[in-house]
Amino acid sequence: MVVRKVITGAFLFCVVTFGAFILFDAALGINEGLSVILAIALGLSTEFLYRKFTA
């Protein structure tokens, strides 16, 4: 069960981070460096919320 939670959290982090980067960089036209920082922050917060609510 722990392995499943870790794999799901990592997959969720990757999907949200990649999607947010594409959204910020390509769709909204924000600077690439800032897009990376914002996407990682959004991915980490999503994984944190996933782990918090699936305890």
Q: What is the DSSP letter of 31?
A: -
Tens-digit pLDDT profile for residues 2-16: 899 999 999 999 999
Whether 55 shows a pLDDT value over 90: the answer reads: no
User: What pLDDT score was predicted for residue 9?
Assistant: 92
Instruction: Give the residue extent of every domain in the chain.
Output: 2-53
The torsion region of residue 8 among left (phi > 0), alpha (psi -120 to 50) and beta comes to: alpha
Q: What digits encode the pLDDT tens for the residues 13-45?
A: 999 999 999 999 999 999 999 999 999 999 999
Decide if 38 contacts 20 (C-beta within 8 A).
yes
DSSP strands (E only) in 1-55: none
Angle between helices 2-22 and 32-53 (to 10 degrees): 150
Quote the pTM value: 0.86
